Amino acid sequence: MPKLERDGEVFVLHLDADDENRFHPDRLAALEAAFDEVEAAEGPRALVTAGSGKFWSNGLDLDWLLNHGDQYAGYLDRVHALLARTLASPVVTVAALNGHTFAAGAMWALAHDFRVMRADRGYVCLPEVDLDLSFQRGMSDLIRARLAPQVAHEAMTTGRRYGGGQALAAGIVDAVADAGELLGAAVELARPLAGKSRAARGQIKEMLYSETLAALRTPTVV
């Protein structure tokens, strides 16, 4: 399960797991609890989400879904809620992308304020077109809200895999770093932003992404 640690103003949420950091319901509960703790903390604060090894997150837990098809709508609503909560968070969020970041995992990364990606390994990818899957409305709105139109078009319709340098050039990530410097770079990006007004930031993001948030917060209809 994810583990939350604190480095001064910056909370670091370690996503370490041996199952590609997919959104199993138990992991969603742990992520929700971590957001609760960070948002309730006193004083300046920011949140960095960091994986280890080969994966940052590969998104939906498809194996769990195959065995719990009757819970499909409720499960998607919970994933959408995580995306909306991250996108609208009054706390600055930075994703330290150590490895593969695919599908709903990529969408969660895009919901963060900033992304720092490992320069030499791992891909950001929206592979739905290769999986014969369409995007939920809220997910599509999120991608289009956070990427330039042509980049969103390419990423969504071709399933292109973007390495670190390519993702930086496309504006998908904000910086790249070597493996040993990745977490430090994300923390130092977050730290000077931790003291800015959380109330104002939350209100700004609610207005900036009002349509996307409304779509993500609309219950899934099967």
The pLDDT tens digits for 31-59 are 999 999 999 999 999 999 999 889 999 99
CA dist 115 and 97 (Å) reads 7
Q: What is the pLDDT of residues 86-120, one digit of tens each?
A: 999 999 999 999 999 999 999 999 999 999 999 99
Summarize the confidence of residues 70-97 as an average pLDDT. 97
Maximum Cα–Cα distance for the chain, whole Å?
46
Write down the H helix ranges in 112-174.
Answer: 137-146, 149-158, 164-170
Q: What is the pLDDT of residues 198-218, one digit of tens each?
A: 999 999 999 999 999 999 999
Judged against a pLDDT cut of 90, whether residue 156 lies above it is answered with yes
Say if CB 86 and CB 107 are below 8 A apart: no
CA dist 143 and 126 (Å) reads 10
Element (H, E) at 186: helix 182-190
pTM for the model stands at 0.97
151 by DSSP, 3-state: which?
Answer: helix
Q: What is the 3-state secondary structure (H, E, C) of 31-65?
A: HHHHHHHHHHCCCCCEEEEECECCEEECCECHHHH
Summarize the confidence of residues 12-17 as an average pLDDT. 88
pLDDT at site 170 = 98
Nearest to 213 by CA among 62, 79, 71, 84: 84
Say if CB 178 and CB 118 are below 8 A apart: yes
Residue 23: partners with Cβ closer than 8 Å, 6 or more residues away:
57, 59, 60, 61, 79, 82, 104
CA dist 174 and 143 (Å) reads 15
CA dist 191 and 9 (Å) reads 6
Pairing of strands 124-125, 161-162: antiparallel
